[in-house]
């Protein structure tokens, strides 16, 4: 785990005025990474760091020769159109860049006049997927979600016996993951109602979102070499917001015996910004397991985990319908939950994923699984909020939803804060549902 250092101090302020405004996601204590260029331009994509409503542009920094010689090699990597080579650097090298950028953006920095020419307004930028995601694994770490969903399928036996022992996951599809403002067509697939003799090919009728935390892997491990629990976070680069769109009717018919397949692989959305594990250090919490539950096997348990393995990260889902856009109304907040409820930690996910020798690579992405609290207004999927489509939810403008309709835009947000701590945010992961394409028969 990263130590607290000067870059986390709540006292810091920036010469970028918008970074000091209350409620900004991107104060000087955050410094998250994304990959961008000016919207509509043919510039090369490169990395940037969000600061207030601006982006610190690493291509411009290289051009101006700023930060030489101390982190010049690192700046070079940040001119790539993905963060993969930067993610592979040591934690110390990444930490050195963070300290350099923090010092340069502070009030009173002598670099203000040169660096002010290296800023691009976020509103004038377009983003791409920040990493080449070689492999994507989706976990299932919220016991509330697992229990709620389990109840719908197996009322008398909601939680399967392995759940409290194994951080459950499956290998997902990386190619259909895209960055926020992803628009996609409602998927077509095989649907079978319980009383029908045979399935039909049709547009999904039970389209849902899943509110998840995305975890990008930094430095990888060699094939055959497991990562120990207490070393695991050295291999986590940072976190994003992740929407694992799900077609519940396709899923219900296809999921046995091998798990989700086409119900999940048509689209998944990440936020453009990755908040580093170092930036998240002040928001760590003790990790615990209820005394009545089985305690983790030794390879998934340690004093360090118990002291600081959890993360206080708030998560929110909002729905914006076509009717809201037509009448200029704001999106409706439908759920707020917290990653600190997760039954398994980031370090446990990494240690378990590699215990068999499986190799992780820089830029690989983990989904945390839907993060649900215990109450109806803190569940991370409509499947849970509507109890399988039985009880519609009512939005702020009076419209109701059991599942998503064409034209609905789902917005997910995340942030960390606390007494005496600055608020840092993750930006947004949003996506809009377009009508299904004609069926191929």
Q: Which residues would be at the binding site for Ca ion (CB under 5 A)? A: 138, 210, 244
392 token code pair: 């519609």
Looking at beta carbons only, is 214 or 427 nearer to Ca ion?
214
The residue whose two tokens read 């070499």 is 225
User: Does the annotation count 145 as an active-site position?
Assistant: yes
Contact 317, 411 (CB under 8 A): yes
Containing 249, the helix (H) or strand (E) segment is helix 248-254
**Unique residue bearing structure tokens 């985990």:** 305
Within 13 A of 300's CA, how many CA atoms are on the CB side?
21
The least CB distance from residue 239 to Ca ion, in Å, is: 16
CB atoms within 10 A of CB 123: 8
In the bound state with Ca ion, the residue whose beta carbon lies nearer, of 27 and 373, is 373
State the Cα–Cα distance between residues 324 and 320, nearest whole angstrom. Answer: 6
DSSP 300: G
Helix H segments across 106-171? 112-115, 143-153
For Ca ion, the closer of residues 57 and 364 by Cβ is 364
Q: How far is the CB of 84 from Ca ion (least distance, A)?
A: 24
- Nearer to Ca ion by Cβ, of 170 and 417: the residue is 170
* Parallel, antiparallel or unpaired: strands 310-311 and 119-121: unpaired
138 or 364: CB nearest Ca ion: 138
Q: Which residues contact 119 (CB under 8 A, 6 or more apart)?
A: 16, 51, 54, 55, 56, 57
Smallest distance, Ca ion to C-beta of residue 153, A:
15
Among residues 141 and 332, whose Cβ is nearest to Ca ion? 141
As measured in angstroms, the least distance from the Cβ of 208 to Ca ion is: 10
Distance (Å, rounded) from C-alpha 33 to C-alpha 292?
41
Query: Active site residue: 8, 145, 235, 353, which one?
Result: 145
The least CB distance from residue 52 to Ca ion, in Å, is 32
Smallest gap from Cβ 198 to Ca ion, in A, equals: 28
- State the Cα–Cα distance between residues 289 and 8, nearest whole angstrom: 29
Q: In this structure, are residues 288 and 295 in contact, taking their beta carbons and an 8 Å threshold?
A: no
Q: How far apart are CA 91 and CA 58, in angstroms?
A: 19
Catalytic residues: 145
């Amino acid at each position: 785990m990263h130590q607290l250092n000067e870059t986390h101090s709540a006292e810091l302020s920036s010469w970028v005025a918008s970074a000091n405004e209350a409620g900004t996601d991107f104060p000087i204590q955050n410094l998250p990474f994304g990959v961008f260029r000016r919207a509509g331009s043919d510039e090369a994509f490169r990395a940037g760091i969000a600061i207030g409503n601006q982006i610190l542009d690493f291509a411009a920094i290289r051009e101006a020769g700023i930060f030489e010689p101390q982190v010049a090699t690192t700046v070079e990597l940040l001119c790539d159109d993905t963060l993969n080579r930067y993610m592979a650097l040591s934690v110390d090298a990444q930490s050195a860049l963070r300290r350099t950028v923090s010092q340069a953006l502070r009030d009173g920095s002598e670099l203000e006049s040169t660096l002010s020419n290296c800023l691009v307004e976020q509103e004038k930028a377009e983003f791409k997927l920040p990493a080449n995601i070689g492999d994507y694994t989706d976990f299932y770490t919220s016991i509330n979600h697992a229990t709620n969903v389990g109840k719908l399928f197996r009322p008398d036996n909601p939680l399967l016996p392995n759940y409290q022992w194994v951080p459950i996951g499956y290998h997902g599809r990386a190619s259909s993951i895209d960055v926020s403002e992803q628009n996609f067509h409602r998927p077509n697939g095989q649907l079978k109602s319980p009383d029908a003799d045979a399935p039909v090919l049709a547009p999904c009728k039970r389209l849902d979102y899943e509110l998840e935390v995305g975890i990008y892997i930094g430095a990888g491990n060699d094939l055959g070499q497991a990562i120990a629990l207490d070393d695991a976070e050295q291999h986590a680069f940072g976190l994003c917001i992740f929407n694992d769109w799900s077609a519940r009717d396709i899923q219900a018919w296809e999921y046995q015996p091998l798990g989700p397949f086409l119900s999940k692989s048509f689209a998944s959305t990440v936020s453009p910004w990755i908040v580093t594990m170092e930036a998240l250090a002040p928001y760590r919490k003790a990790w615990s397991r209820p005394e009545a539950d089985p305690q983790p096997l030794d390879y998934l348990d340690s004093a360090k985990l118990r002291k600081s393995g959890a993360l206080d990260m708030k998560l929110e889902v909002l729905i914006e319908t076509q009717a809201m856009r037509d009448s200029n109304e704001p999106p409706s907040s439908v759920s707020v939950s917290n990653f600190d409820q997760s039954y398994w930690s980031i370090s446990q996910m990494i240690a378990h994923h590699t215990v068999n020798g499986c190799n992780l690579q820089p830029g690989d992405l983990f989904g945390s699984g839907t993060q649900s609290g215990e109450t109806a207004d803190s569940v991370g999927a409509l499947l849970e909020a509507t109890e399988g489509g039985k009880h519609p939810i009512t939005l702020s403008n009076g419209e109701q939803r059991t599942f998503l309709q064409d034209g609905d835009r789902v917005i997910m947000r995340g942030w960390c804060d606390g007494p005496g701590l600055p608020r840092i945010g993750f930006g947004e992961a949003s996506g809009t549902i377009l009508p299904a394409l004609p069926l191929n028969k």
